[in-house]
Chains A and B, each alone.
Chain A
Amino acid sequence: MSGQVNRAIVTRRRFVQTLGVSAVGLLLAACAAPAATPAQPASTAPAAVGAGALSGSSIRFGALANYKGDALEKTFPDFEKATGIKVLIDKLPNPNLADKLTVSFASRSPDYDVAMMDETWIAGLAPYLTSVEPLVTRDNLDLKQYVPNGLSAGVYNGTRVAMPLDPNVMMLWYRKDLFAAKGVVAPATFDDVIGAAEKLNDPANGVAGISVSGGQDGQVSALAEFLLWNAGGEILTPDKKFGFNGPAGIKALQTYQRIIKSAPPGVLAYGYAEQINAFYTGKAAMVFYWASIGPDATNPEKSQVAKDVGWASVPNAQRGVWTLGISKDSTRKDAAWEWVKWITGPVGSAEFTQNGGGHSPRFDVLNSAEFAQRYPWAQDYQKALGGARSRPQVSSWNAIDTVIMNMTTSVLSGQKQPEDAIRAADQQVAPYLT
């Protein structure tokens, strides 16, 4: 009896409540609709502000929770001494920094005045970022000191909205001893790399030719995109079409299939962590990965093969620049700009690199003796960065990249043939290309 009453109450009340919820929801949505982007204030040249005037203020800085964030944090005392500005850092794990930044900036009352952002996020965050061009002009910043391929990462739709902090680029890391043993020469192009991988592939002895990712990981789409460039294609054609759709795309995927035959047996589950680990533990003769692993690869505490590691650059490598963007709704833009200038300036950038944070966007730091001592691959790094390619700057890049990743993993795991996978991906990508 109570069961029936309960059921009746549930049904009736649930129905009424749902109606009520829908009505109020529609009403709420109508008035709480996200505000249209406010009109751009006329861009007058900002009055020159002496750094001394900002002394005592503080800025909120969103950064990565890893060695980069730690390296940045170590530079704060010197920055404060130089300008009197206090930096309050919030460190977030890599997969989540983008989410937090987007939610925070889009709410128009952001948690951060300035934040670290990967160049691929800039297209999406651009509506919420301050243009730094007036500031560059006002302070006579010498942009020639910066590596061009680092600077261009911060430009979206012709406007500079971010400054480069730490350009990263994919390089080849290889085992000099294994190369020497088999008489293989250091590769100059990626075709050389594939050839070397096949020659060095020695599954009987537990050593694979090359370590790559094959699982659900951004490295998979990164490599697929690189292979597309290598095959002469573009990710997005000038008329905004999916670049994999064509012979270059098919070749790229087929090359990837060829590469994994020289990869360690578990490659299909490899993410970036397993990928580099295979190299460190001697399971692969090469790894094609970001330059940022250099310090670890050559560190005997992290890598079992540290003393035998060599490096090389190949053309068309993928570039990935960490930049600094200032939020448009920040109330402390000038102080934030002082931070950006300092940490990408000769003193701050050198300190950042010496703290083990990563590479520098400046020629003077990259060519300095201290840098070369800590990062012996400095010259190859610059060569790789000079010849690097960048991903298209579209706000829906995340979605497109995911489609490329899924397309590639479905081919690598044997679920689809390249042509079918590309066709399916083409359809999935279509809504994001408008």
Chain B
Amino acid sequence: MSFATAAERRSRRVDRAATLRQRIGHLIPFYYWAVLPALAATLAVVVLPLMYSFGLSFWHYVLTDPRNVHFDGLANYAHALNDPTFRNSLGTTFVYGVGTVAVELVLGMAFALVVNTLTVGAGLVRTAMLVPVFMTPAVVAFMWRFMLHPDLGIVNYFLALVGLGHPVWLGDPRLALPSVMAVEIWRNTPFMFLVFLAGMQSLPSELFEAAAVDGASFWQRFRSLTLPLLMPLILVALIIRGMDALREFDTIFIMTGGGPGNATETIAISTYRYSFRNYDMGLGSAVSYVIFAVVFLFGIYFVRRMNRTRVD
């Protein structure tokens, strides 16, 4: 070490940097082919079909009526936006999305707060909470349909024990949407819980100790420390869950099929109905593009919010 002068050391560092730049120079093509497989797959499997579907939305194309195929301009979109059931489904989707995500957020945060204070058993709870997240959505739907059955369901059995009557969960137009939302909340609160818990556990404990020493109560610590520090995480969770809730299909379809009447018909169910019940592919494409637009706008809004918070 002492043999090399400062100048020699400097020149060696410069040499090393040059060699590194050389290596990277040779490797520039690396990122092209590193990015290529994912991009190619996405273009082929998502973008191409999307473009086809987009084009299709301007045609009158009903699978069971092949002699009557013609270009229709914006007729499908006009039909969709003027259709009162579709407008109704936009409202239902909004209620569904906002309602489920809000409850999941609050509950998930509450669970995380409690489990964060545990000294033993946190691992067990975390493992258990993975179960709803992992279950096949179709299985979840059938399972809850069974449990919410007015006569055979276990839920009504317990309610009857407590004398709370015999509600027809999935058949009563006032109860159907809340029931379906409850199932979604059941499935996804654990996800929120896991995310928030890890977030809390990664926060520096000194801050909280100092605050406690200063006499701050549990709630004060939560409001002024935990919440602001976790805000970026909350936004990420909101985006992911929000987008998924807006596109949710399997569970609602199997549990109520959109009914009773149209009480639980979200835009995803509407799309299915147009595409696979009426076999109106043009209209189905138009409707799913409307969903895409809604989800996209929602996503962009939140991504910007997230970026803004990230900057500071």
Of the listed residues A2, A6, A27, the one surrounded by the most CB atoms of chain B closer than 10 A to its CB is A6
Shortest C-beta distance, A271 to chain B (Å), equals 9
Closest to B56 in A: A29
Cα distance A409–B276 in the bound complex, in angstroms: 21
A269 to B58, CA, bound (A): 38
**B152 close to A413 (CB less than 8 A):** no
CA distance A310 to B103 in the complex (A): 51
**B259 interface residue (CB < 8 Å to A):** yes
The interface residues of chain A lying within 8 Å CB-to-CB of B170 are 215, 269
For the complex, give the distance between the alpha carbons of A7 and B307 in Å: 9
Report the minimal beta-carbon distance from A261 to chain B, rounded to whole angstroms. Answer: 15
Please indicate the chain B residues that have their CB under 8 angstroms from the CB of A66 in the complex: none
A356 interface residue (CB < 8 Å to B): no
CB-nearest residue of chain B to A409 = B260
- Could you tell me if B55 and A269 are in contact, using CB atoms closer than 8 angstroms? no
Query: A49: which B residues are within 8 A, CB to CB?
Result: none
Residue pair B279, A215 in contact (C-beta under 8 Å): no
Known: A29-B55, A34-B69, A406-B262. A395 touches B172 (CB 8 A): no
Q: Are A3 and B307 in contact (CB under 8 A)?
A: yes
| Nearest-Cβ distance from residue A119 to partner chain B, whole angstroms | 14
Question: Whose C-beta in chain A lies nearest to the C-beta of B67?
Answer: A37
B64:A215 contact, CB within 8 angstroms: no
B171 proximal to A (CB < 8 A): yes
A30 within 8 A of B: yes
Cross-interface CB contact of A216 among B152, B256, B276, cutoff 8 Å: B256
A395-434 interface code vs B (CB 8 A; 1 in, 0 out): 1101100100010011001010000000000001000100
Asked if residues B55 and A398 are in contact (CB atoms below 8 Å), the reply is no
Map CB proximity to A onto B56-72 as digits: 1 under 8 Å, 0 otherwise. 10110111111101010
Bound Cα distance from A116 to B263, whole angstroms: 33
Question: How does the 8 Å CB contact mask read for A1-20 relative to B, with 1 for contact and 0 for none?
Answer: 11100110010001000000
Residues facing A in B18-74 (CB within 8 A) are: 47, 50-52, 54-56, 58-59, 61-67, 69, 71
User: B55 → chain A, closest Cβ, in Å?
Assistant: 3
B123 contacts the other chain (Cβ, under 8 Å)? no
Contact of A26 among B55, B62, B273 (CB under 8 A): B55
Q: Are the CB atoms of B261 and A410 closer together than 8 Å? A: yes
A270 to B63 alpha-carbon distance, docked (Å): 31
Closest chain B residue, CB of each to CB of A216:
B259
For A2, give its contact among B151, B168, B311 (CB under 8 Å): B311
CA distance A6 to B279 in the complex (A): 40
Number of A-B contacts (CB under 8 A): 148
Contact in complex: A3, B311 (CB < 8 Å): yes
Note all chain B residues with C-beta closer than 8 A to A2.
307, 311
Contact yes or no, B260 A413, CB < 8 A: yes
B168, A269: Cβ atoms under 8 Å?
yes
- What is the CB-to-nearest-CB distance from A109 to chain B, in angstroms, rounded to a whole number? 14
Residue A369 at the chain B interface, CB threshold 8 Å: no
CB of A22 closer than 8 Å to a CB of B: yes
B151-A123 in contact (CB<8A): no
Contact of B64 among A7, A216, A396 (CB under 8 A): A396
Who on chain B is nearest to A96 by CB?
Answer: B276
Q: Given A37-B66, A410-B261, is A32 in contact with B52 using a C-beta cutoff of 8 Å?
A: yes
Q: How far is the CA of A402 from the CA of B219 in the complex (A)?
A: 52
A36 to B59, CA, bound (A): 13
A10 with B150, Cβ < 8 A, contacts A1-B311, A29-B56, A123-B64 known: no
Q: What are 20 A-B pairs with beta-carbon distances under 8 A?
A: A3-B307, A26-B58, A27-B55, A29-B55, A33-B59, A34-B66, A36-B66, A214-B171, A215-B171, A215-B259, A216-B257, A264-B151, A265-B166, A269-B260, A281-B151, A398-B277, A398-B278, A399-B278, A406-B261, A410-B261
Give residues in A with beta carbon < 8 Å to B: 1-3, 6-7, 10, 14, 21-22, 24-30, 32-34, 36-37, 99, 102-103, 106, 123-125, 127, 214-217, 264-270, 274, 277-278, 281, 283, 395-396, 398-399, 402, 406, 409-410, 413, 415, 428, 432
